[in-house]
Amino acid sequence: MAVHKGRGIAAIEYPTGMNQNGDPSQAWIKVKPDGRIDVFAGTSDIGNGSKTIQSQIVAETIGVPYDWITYDNSNTDSSPVCTGTFASRATFVAGKAVEKAAERVKERILDIAGKELEIDPSDLEIVDGEVLAKGAPQKKIAVPDVAAAATWTYGELITGTGAQLKDFASIVDPETGEVDSPPHSAISYAACAAEVEVDDETGVVRVTRLVQVYDVGRAINPTLVEGQIEGGAVQGLGLGVLENCYPYYPSAEHRGGQFGSYLAPGFEDLPQIDTIIIENPSADGPYGAKGIGEMANNAQPPAIASAVYDAVGVWVTELPITPERVLRALEAKAEPTRNGKTFVFDAELSVNAVAQGGIAFEVPA
């Protein structure tokens, strides 16, 4: 037997927010009489950590400690609209809504603090739960005291709402796909290198190492970013070499109905993962953040496919790259066919080979 090592790379991009936009998120915030902050937003936390991230954004924006924040996304009676947790929008879009709501709250706190301190609100700032006069921090009032004054002296509820909605980008020309405005929020970028070992007798591909680079814009919480990247890497590994709802696709036979016959990656499939973070801030995300949750499983499959080619000299372009597909490719040792200046790979998979004239892929010669 021979085990062959190989390396391959890929670079990708991914948009934030629903394609073509038009996906609102809203938030409202109220302040308790002791200055503690209640945030109401409709973003489901599916494990991505949006409760945490949005709480951090509120704490940062107002200028109070993180543990002053209570975050409630529990129901539609108290929380306003959020289109949902998908399209990598929970930080970028929904996080922007809570940032805007927090800015309103901050304005109200500064306004009331200004009255109490007899200083113009524009000369005040909030640091660690205290409102300070800029340049004269000995003149100050604690946020809890501001909240108490609002409640008991001014008869005011300190509250703020925020909404983020980017205009729907219409397709103005269905022939060309031209749109009338950017159909996305920020675009995030990533690159990945895969190292594999391929057993040329059994066809088994083991991914031994993934080196990944992500431009995250700004890591609101670096640990949570790592969690997204690592979780995505293993899902990308699943896409690349393990998972398939239809092992005999396009046939629907022999589907796996249990763990063990549906091959989700497990602990022992885990490769070494090295991650490089870049923070090129986005122009309009909260604190420069981008949305990288979804793209985190997009770069590994092509990097793995290229690494398998590097290892054993065959391209497997049907996913997942199963042992059987590797063995079949090794057996076929398929080279691209040459037709003048054209190199044709995978001709046997093409619609031209399978369909009976109903559709074709015709390439200009």
Partner 1 sequence: MTQATEVLFPTSADEAVAHFGDGSDVTVVGGGTIVMPEITYGRLAPTKALVLSRAGLDTLDVAGTTVTLGAGLPVERLAALAQDVKALAQCALNVADYEIRLQATVGGNLCAGEGRDAPRGDLQGPLLALDAQARSVGADGESTEPLEGFLGRRAGRLLLDVTFEKPAASAFAAIDYAHTHEYTVLAVSGVRTATGETRLAATGLAGFGTRLRSAEAAASDPERAGAAAVADVSLGDDALASAWYRERTLPVLVHRVLGELEEAA
Partner 2 sequence: MKAVGARLPRYDGIGHVTGRTTYVDDVRVSGMLWAKALRSPLHSATITSFDTSKAEAMPGVHAVITHADVPLLEYGHLSALGIPADEPLLAKDEVRYKGQPIAVVAAEDEETAMAAVEAIDIELEERTPLFDIRKAFDADAPKVHQWGNWYTHFEGEMDRRQIRKGSVDDAFDKADTIVQGVYRPAAIEHVPLETQVALVVPEASGRLTIYSCTQALYFSMGVVAAHLQVPLNKLKVVGGTVGGGFGGKVDTASETMCALLAQRSGRPVKWRWTREEEFLCSSTRAPWHMEIADAVTKDGWILGRKMLTLHDSGAYGRFSPYGLTKHSFHHTGAYTIPNLEFDGYVVFTNRVPTTAMRGFGVTSVSFATETHMSRIADVLGLDPYEVRLKNANRIGDTSPNRIVYTDPSTVSVVKALAGGMDVELQPEYAAMSRDPREGDLLPEHLVGQMANPEDH
Partner 3 sequence: MNLTVNGTTHDVESGPLATLLDVLREELGVTSPKAGCEQGGCGACTVLVDGEPQRSCLTPVGALDGASVTTVEGLGAPESLSPLQQAFTHHYAAQCGFCTSGMLIAAEAYLKRGGTDDREAIQEALAGHVCRCTGYVKIIDAVAAVARGDSFDLTVTAPSPGMTNLGGVS
**Is the CB of 148 or the CB of 163 nearer to partner 2?**
163
Near partner 1 by CB under 8 A: residue from 267, 283, 333, 363: 267
| Burial (CB count within 10 angstroms: exposed 0-12, middle 13-18, buried 19+), residue 123 | middle
Only segment of 105-113, 149-157, 159-167, 305-313 that touches partner 2 (CB under 8 A): 305-313
The reply on whether position 15 binds partner 2 by CB under 8 A is: yes
Tell me the CB-side half-sphere exposure of residue 319, using CA atoms within 13 A. Answer: 18
Q: Least distance to partner 3 from the beta carbon of 242, Å?
A: 12
Nearest one of 204, 225, 352, 334 to 276, comparing CA atoms: 225
**Is the CB of 88 or the CB of 117 nearer to partner 2?**
88
Helix (H, G, I), strand (E, B) or coil at 12: strand
> Which residues sit opposite 189 in a β-bridge?
13, 215
Near partner 3 by CB under 8 A: residue from 259, 353, 358, 362: 259
From partner 3, partner 2, partner 1, none, interface partner of 191 (C-beta below 5 to 8 A by class): partner 2
Report whether the peptide linkage leading into residue 80 is cis, meaning its omega lies within 30 degrees of zero.
no
Structure-token pair, residue 191: 């690159």
d(CA 7, CA 236): 16
Q: Considering CB under 8 A, how many residues would be counted as binding partner 2?
A: 138
Only segment of 43-51, 73-81, 109-117, 255-263 that touches partner 1 (CB under 8 A): 255-263
Considering only residues 308 to 327 of the shown chain, the ones binding partner 1 according to CB under 8 A are 322-324, 327
d(CA 8, CA 301): 10
Near partner 1 by CB under 8 A: residue from 266, 274, 278, 317: 266
d(CA 188, CA 217): 8
From partner 2, partner 1, partner 3, none, interface partner of 55 (C-beta below 5 to 8 A by class): partner 2
d(CA 163, CA 98): 8
The reply on whether position 356 binds partner 3 by CB under 8 A is: no
Nearest one of 110, 138, 108, 103 to 125, comparing CA atoms: 110
From partner 1, partner 2, partner 3, none, interface partner of 91 (C-beta below 5 to 8 A by class): none
The reply on whether position 333 binds partner 2 by CB under 8 A is: no
Point out which residues bind partner 3 (CB under 8 A). 46-49, 219, 222-224, 226-227, 229-235, 258-260, 264, 266-268, 270, 272-281
